[in-house]
Amino acid sequence: MRKNNFIKINGLLFILAASTLVGCGNSDPKVTCSTGTYIGSIESSVESFKGIHYAKAPVGDLRWKAPVPVDESKQTFEAKRFGKSALQTKADSEQASMNPEGLSEDCLTLNIWTKDLKKKNKPVMFWIHGGAYSYGGTSDPLYNGKYIVNEHPDVLLVTANYRIGPMGFIDFSEYDPDGEYKTSGYNGLLDQITALKWVNKNIEAFGGNPNNVTIFGESAGGGSVTQLLVSQIDHGKDGIEEIGDGRLFQHAIAESGALNFGMTHERYKQLGAAKLFLDKAGLTNVNDLAHLTEERIRELYFDKSNDSDVIANIAVTPLLAEDSITGADPYSRILNGSGKNVDLIIGTTKDENRYFLDDVCDPALRSVLGTPEYEPLLEKKMGLFAKAMTGMKLENYLAKCNEQEKANAMTFLEMQKDKEPNEIWQKTALLNEYGFRGPAIKVAENHYRAGGTGKTYMYYFQKKNTTFDWIGACHASELSYVFHNLEDEQFSGTVVPKIADQMCGAWTNFATNHNPTYGGVTWPEYNDTTRKTMFFNDDATFEVVSDPMKTERELIASSLRLYVNL
């Protein structure tokens, strides 16, 4: 989940009647499907189609409502540029916030990369971007699909924008007695589902196999992946539609994100995002707010007057409640079988929380590296972050623990002294367990214990950032490796080709052959006994470790119940 300066808290029965048209020679690639004919472009020998609308613009009567799929069409559309990014504040660490096409509510578009339109039945990889559910987008150069497709031409890649921040996740229930905006707390997830339905209906025209789809994402995207596994939509008389039942996707990869990324009605009320939005507008009726012009919404969304909070910067996450699509206890849902027949890879990086202290390129920190001023400045920045991000401060975690759990936490911290003399990093190591590794292990355990046909795999990424050693293998540091993007060094430093080859290969082989074993490196399944986990090491070696950091896992096991739904 990326945010501000380096913060990242991120129909099968349809018969496609249209034909696929492939341009010859140097002509642009062209594809016809149910929603129109799309003229794409060729970049680095990869055919790409960008900015395809999968849903109508969520404005006016559709604002804060469930997405409405675009109509079928016989029109021709140029698909050579990314669509607009979702509304968000601009941040150096979020390149999609600098999208040349701009920011807009009209952001529900997807992009497709494929090597050869003539080749059919390709496995489809569907990427869900991170960004704290409030930042990011598919125009970020890091997510350019040409890198994966050039390395592995037998797969097809799709990336999709979705509504983020309070435009995609805000709980209006206390101001919405008639339930007209009942989906406001999880519309961003519904956007992702609508994009997957577009893929299911149309991707065959682009050479993809709608029955072999892998969803994958990082941070908020990883959280979204697990949330889609447990999502259920109640259609009333039509019954319950289970999203993770294997119809829209058959495989899932969750990177640095799990089911703890969510908020209850009570937490939303405490956060006050809905009240702030209405107060800024001088309104009491959410319906009036929904019908303001986009220009006025923008003014309210980014208003900084009177030192008040900027609505766009409020860290919102999907609603966890009985009246949401994930339910109030998604961990129980996955244990009870939601997504049990979907193959799953889930994992984390070694130093997740070091990411959140500040931007690795921050000149103030860089200028005092190795001096006595460094530690106090870093601690100050960590304190500012903890103040801004309620729930990330260690004291807030420990306050919920009983005496034994607090004692376990202290034992955990004492153990870290042999590994890391810096007290700040000792604390972030514990926060890594509470906020990332622990919840990921819980998802893996429950997925395995559900007893379905879906296989479970776990990984642990340890490659340190080569530009700033102190940031370690931080949150997002694996992204360049997964995308085989050797050019993007923002979160990884210099990308080691050997690790990129192995990690990207494992991901694509999982999508293709349902197994992440790749390049002679065997990746065994995860279970709750041996807990075999694939390590991507700092020295570019790969090894399987049984029950890694067992003592640390056991020390926080009981207290994890307090933090899986923060």
Whether 485 and 113 have beta carbons less than 8 Å apart is answered as no
Q: Give the DSSP H/E element, type plus range, for residue 216.
A: strand 208-218
Active-site residue identified among 97, 139, 219, 480: 219
Q: Output the CA angle 533-534-539, nearest 5 degrees.
A: 135
Whether 219 and 256 have beta carbons less than 8 Å apart is answered as yes
Whether 217 and 193 have beta carbons less than 8 Å apart is answered as no
Contacts of 345 by beta carbon, 8 Å cutoff, 6+ apart: 252, 253, 254, 457, 458, 459, 507, 510, 516
In the Cβ-directed half-sphere of 240, how many Cα atoms lie within 13 Å? 12
Whether 156 and 112 have beta carbons less than 8 Å apart is answered as yes
Residue 27 corresponds to which tokens in the numbers above? 């002509």
* 249: nearest Cα among 154, 127, 112: 127
* 189: nearest Cα among 218, 156, 157, 230: 230
C-alpha 412/C-alpha 428 separation (Å) is 11
The per-residue DSSP string of 548-565 comes to TTHHHHHHHTTGGGGTTT
Contacts of 546 by beta carbon, 8 Å cutoff, 6+ apart: 530, 531, 532, 533
Contacts of 148 by beta carbon, 8 Å cutoff, 6+ apart: 113, 125, 155, 157, 483, 484, 504, 508
Is 139 in the active site? no
Contacts of 397 by beta carbon, 8 Å cutoff, 6+ apart: 391, 409, 430, 431, 434, 559, 562, 563
* 564: nearest Cα among 185, 219, 266, 259: 259
SS3 content of the chain, % helix, strand, coil (to 5): 35, 20, 45
Whether 82 and 143 have beta carbons less than 8 Å apart is answered as no
C-alpha 184/C-alpha 319 separation (Å) is 9
- What is the Cα Rg of the chain in Å? 22
* 289: nearest Cα among 311, 267, 320, 269: 311
Contacts of 271 by beta carbon, 8 Å cutoff, 6+ apart: 263, 314, 316
C-alpha 396/C-alpha 314 separation (Å) is 19
Query: Which residues are designated catalytic?
Result: 219
